[in-house]
Amino acid sequence: MKKKGVVYLIGAGPGDPGLFTLKGQRILQQADVIIYDRLVGDTLLNMARSDAEKIYVGKASGRHALSQEQINQLLVEKASQGLIVARLKGGDPFLYGRGGEEAQYVRQHGLDFEVVPGVTSAIAVPAYAGIPVTHRDMTSSFAVITGHEKPGKKESSIRWEHIAPGIGTLVFLMGVENLPFICQNLISHGRDPQTPVALIRWGTLPEQEVLAGTLDNIVDLVREHDFQPPAVIVVGEVVQLRAELSWVENKPLWGKRIVVTRSRAQASQLVDRIVDLGGEAIEFPAIEIKKEANLSGLHNALSHLDSYDWLVFTSVNAVDIFFEELIGCGYDIRDLKGIKLAAIGPATQEQLTRRGLKVEVVPEEYRAEGIIRALLSLSKPGQWVLLPRARGARTILPDELKKAGRHVNEVFLYEAITSLSVSQKTLENIKQGLMDYLTFTSSSTVHNFVKIVGRENIARINHNTKVACIGPITADTARQYGFTVDIHASEYTIQGLVEALVEESKASRED
C-alpha cells in the first residue's frame, strides 16, 4: 500500500531561531521535503535531515521565485508522492501567510494537512523593540492590518474610519512601501498627527533597527534614513514605552555576527552563550570528528586496564569515544578501579564526572604544558599512562612524560578532518569580511578553516573581522597563517572565550 503524504504548514516565527516552536522543530526533523520562504534562516534549515530536499519559493517585493499557484501545485505534487512536506513560512502561516489558501488547495486534492502556528511578528517584533502592543495605562486594544493594500484600489478592505480613531495600537505588516498612504489615511480619518510611530526592520534578529517618529513626520524620516523594508510598523502611544523598555539592544554582544568554527556536535555551548548575550552565532563548522576505523590499539589497552596507573583525557571527544568502546567491548567503569584520572580542563572533567568518575588532576593551565606539570608532580617514574586522544595532536605531552621516565601508551581515537558541509552563502560572507568576530577553539579549527576559505582570502578576512582564540597554542597557529589575533581568552575555556568577546565588544562600543 502506497504511503500517504501530508503537508505541514509551519510558522517559522519572526526570525530569531529561538522563537521556533518545539513541534515545528520535531516535524522539520522528520520531513522529506522543506518548502521555505525568503525570511527563513539557515539555522532552521539546518534542523532538517541532511537528505531532505529543500526548495526555495521565497517572495520579495516584485520578485517571486514561484507564483502562489505554483507553490500550491508543488505542495500537492510532493505530498502525492507519499512524502512528508514541511511548508515553512515566516511568522504564523495563517496571518497574511496565505496558509489558508494553501490548506484549501491541499484539502481539495484529497490530501491531509496540519497547521503548526508560529510566533507572529505582529507581537514579537514590537516586543523585541521594547514596545508592548497593549499596556493598561495606555490601551487595551490592538489590531493587525495588512500594509500591502495598494493606493488607488477601488474599494479598500480596511475600514479606516473605524480603526483610525477606535483602536489603541495598530500594527501594519508589509507596509513600508505604502507608508505615505497609511499615514495619510490614519490622519484623514481622525488619528492625531502627533501619534507616535515606530518602524522595526529585521525585528528579533541582530540586524534589528528601529526608527521612531510621529504620523506627520515618519515618512520624511524614512526617506532621510533610507529605511528599507521589510519592517513592522507600530502606531500608538505604546511606542513611547520603548525609551523605558528597550532591552535586547542592551545585551553585551547585541548586533555582533560571530563565526563559530567548532564541529557542529561541539558547538552548542558556544552558540548558546553567544545567542544569550545578544549576538548572532554563525555556525561554520571547519572540522568534523572522524572516529578511527581501526581501534585495535585501544581495544588492546582495554584488555590490560589493570596495568595502567593513569588515564589522561585531553578532550571531550576522547572521553565519549573511549567510553563508547569500553562499553562496546563488554567492560564498564568498574574496570577502571585503581586508575587515576586526569582531564585537561573543566569541560573534559565534567564529562567524566557525569559518568560517576572522580578526576584527580585538572591543571590550572588548561593545555598540555599544564597537565605535564601536574602529572609529573603526582606520578612516579616507571608508572604507566594511557593517553587516548586525537590523531595529529601535539606530541609534547607524551614526549615530556616519556623523558621523565613514565611509560606512555598513546592510542588514537579520532581525527579532526575538514568539514564538507559548509554553507556556501556563509562562506562568501566570511570571505567578504562581513562578520564581526571569528572564533577558533583549537589549532585544528584553524588549519581546516584555512583549507576551506583559502589562504589567499586571509588578508581580506583579517582586515574586516577580529579573530578570537581560546588559548595561546591556537593563537600561535592562527598567527602562522597570517591572522592578527585580537582577542585572547584569559581562561582557556568556552566561558573564558565568551568573556573575552564581551570585554572586547564593550571596549569597541566605548571607543
Selected catalytic residue, list 32, 37, 92, 436: 37
Which among 479, 472, 487 has a CA at the least distance from the CA of 450?
Answer: 479
Active-site option among 174, 256, 436, 466 = 174
Helix (H, G, I), strand (E, B) or coil at 27: helix
Report the C-alpha gap between 440 and 14 in whole angstroms. 30
Catalytic residue at 251?
Answer: no
Place of cell 514561484: 66
**Does residue 511 have an active-site annotation?**
no
Cell of 161: 474610519
Cα separation, 217 vs 226, whole angstroms: 14
Known catalytic residue: 174? yes
| Distance between CA atoms of residues 383 and 404, nearest Å | 10
C-alpha cell at 17: 531561531
Residue type, 207: E
Q: List strand residue ranges (DSSP E) for 321-465, in order.
A: 340-343, 384-390, 407-418, 437-440
d(CA 266, CA 281): 14
Q: Which residues of 97-108 are buried (b: 16+ CB within 10 A; e: fewer)?
A: bebeebbebbee
The pair phi, psi for residue 439, each rounded to 5°, is: -105, 140
Q: How far is CA 177 from CA 174, 183, 377, in A?
A: 8, 12, 71
Instruction: Kindly provide the residue ranges of all beta strands, DSSP E only, lying in 137-230, ordered along the sequence.
Output: 142-146, 169-173, 196-201, 209-214
Count CB atoms within 10 A of the CB of residue 109. 15
d(CA 406, CA 400): 9
Q: Which candidate in 54, 59, 251, 431 is catalytic? A: 59
Q: How far is CA 275 from CA 128, 259, 270, 284, in A?
A: 14, 12, 9, 15
**Spatial distance between the Cα atoms of 435 and 438, rounded to a whole number of angstroms:** 7
Which ranges of 59-112 would DSSP assign to H, the alpha helix?
68-80, 99-108
- The distance between the two most distant Cα atoms of the chain, rounded to a whole number of Å, is 94
Alpha helices (H) in 94-178, listed in sequence order:
99-108, 121-128, 160-166
Segments in 465-493 forming alpha helices (H) = 472-480
Known catalytic residues are: 37, 59, 174
